[in-house]
């Protein structure tokens, strides 16, 4: 049986401190042939994703809702020109994701892209739609879109999709355990439904598929290979397989159930401004899961200044040969402090 340590080194790691500038940008407007253009330039988080657990249209520096470790919300280099109509918007954009690098991992550095694209957004009745075409030096062309619709005061649905011509993926090799190789043709798709009531309860259920991720058979083979290498006394080679956890989505098929209770609707557990949240992420193909419980407290908010504290506990488990069950820790506790001054 493969234990959770089979894919990870247990040696002491060197401590490192890094200061990250998340955003620094300028926004203004200009007039061209009687048409007003909004201009954005600098380092900024500019994403058009639709969804909660995963957002396929976060094209430039994707943000993971439930990361395995600590991540930093960081912007990309952006130059964007936007033209607004009564019910729509056109945006021409150029980006450089190398402006933001919170990790030196090979998969991250290989996905640093520079590109240009066009986006159109339109409001049609109770629905919002958008379409995007984009070309960069990594994906070599992509097309995507989304649809969001409000059904009534309680229910809504959302969906997004993306196709890209090329992508980087870790693959098993004959002469070495794993190698990052360029692959062709990958699709991503997400569909979700959300419900809310006047008491502040909000529930979101989502399914998404990521064609760039390993499926259950690939994970089982990887874990079997790692076990064999350990038995042969070649543990350093086995540890290389842990790079599979760097993927945006660890597994291809995912279900998520999200619940939160908005603190704006009275006291929670005897305290004002306290918001509990629960996320359950399940991989139906291989039986792995991740559960995250948050408690968020808005200590104060004056409009110009605010302080927010968040405590989270994240649990991993599932079938013994699942990706989540083979992480080195079954529980992780995180504390976040957010402020505006």
- Kindly list the domain boundaries of the chain, sorted by start residue: 4-11+21-340
Q: What's the pLDDT at 55?
A: 94
Q: What's the pLDDT at 102?
A: 63
Q: What's the pLDDT at 17?
A: 62
Cβ neighbours of 331 (radius 10 Å): 10
pTM of the model: 0.87
Higher pLDDT, 269 or 48: 48
How many percent of the chain have pLDDT more than 70?
89
The sign of the dihedral angle between the CA atoms of 259, 262, 268, 271 is: positive
Name all contacts of 231-237 with Cβ < 8 Å and 24+ positions apart.
237/176, 237/177
The tens digit of pLDDT for each residue in 155-167 reads: 999 999 999 999 9
End-to-end Cα separation, the chain, in angstroms: 52
Across 110-117, average pLDDT: 94
Angle among Cα 86, 92, 98 to the nearest 5 degrees reads 135
Does residue 81 contact residue 38 with C-beta atoms inside 8 Å? Answer: yes
Q: What's the pLDDT at 266?
A: 59
Residue keyed to tokens 């820790």: 329
The tens digit of pLDDT for each residue in 19-72 reads: 777 888 999 998 887 788 999 999 998 889 999 999 999 998 877 777 776 667
Q: Is the pLDDT of residue 16 over 70?
A: no
Fold of the domain built from segment(s) 4-11+21-340: Porin (2.40.160)
């Amino acid at each position: 049986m493969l234990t959770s340590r089979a894919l990870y080194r247990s040696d002491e790691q060197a401590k490192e401190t890094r200061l990250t500038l998340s955003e620094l940008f300028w926004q203004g407007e200009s007039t061209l042939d009687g048409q007003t253009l909004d201009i954005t330039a600098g380092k900024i988080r500019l994403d058009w994703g639709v969804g909660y657990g995963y957002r396929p249209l976060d094209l430039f520096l994707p943000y993971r809702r439930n990361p395995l470790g600590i991540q930093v919300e960081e912007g990309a280099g952006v130059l964007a020109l936007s033209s607004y109509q009564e019910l729509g918007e056109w945006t021409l954009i150029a980006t450089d994701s190398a402006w933001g690098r919170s990790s030196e991992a090979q998969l991250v550095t290989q996905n640093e892209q520079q590109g240009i694209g066009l986006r159109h957004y339109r409001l049609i009745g109770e629905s919002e739609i958008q379409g995007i075409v984009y070309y960069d030096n990594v994906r070599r062309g992509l097309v995507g879109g989304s649809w969001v619709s409000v059904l009534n005061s309680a229910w809504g649905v959302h969906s997004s999709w993306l196709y890209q011509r090329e992508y980087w993926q870790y693959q098993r090799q004959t002469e070495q355990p794993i190698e990052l190789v360029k692959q062709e043709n990958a699709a991503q798709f997400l569909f979700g439904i959300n419900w809310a009531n006047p008491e502040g309860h909000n529930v979101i259920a989502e399914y998404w598929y990521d064609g760039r991720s390993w499926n259950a058979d690939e994970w089982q083979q990887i874990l079997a290979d790692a076990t064999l290498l350990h038995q042969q006394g070649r543990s350093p080679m086995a540890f290389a397989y842990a790079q599979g956890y760097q993927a945006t989505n660890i597994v291809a098929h995912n279900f998520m159930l999200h619940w939160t209770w908005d603190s704006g609707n009275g006291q929670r557990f005897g305290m004002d401004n306290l918001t509990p949240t629960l996320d359950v992420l399940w991989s139906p193909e291989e039986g792995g899961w991740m559960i995250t419980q948050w408690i968020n407290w808005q200590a104060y908010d004056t409009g110009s200044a605010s302080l927010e504290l968040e405590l989270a506990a994240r649990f991993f488990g599932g079938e013994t040969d699942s990706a989540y069950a083979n992480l080195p820790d079954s529980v992780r506790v995180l504390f976040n402090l957010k402020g505006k001054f």
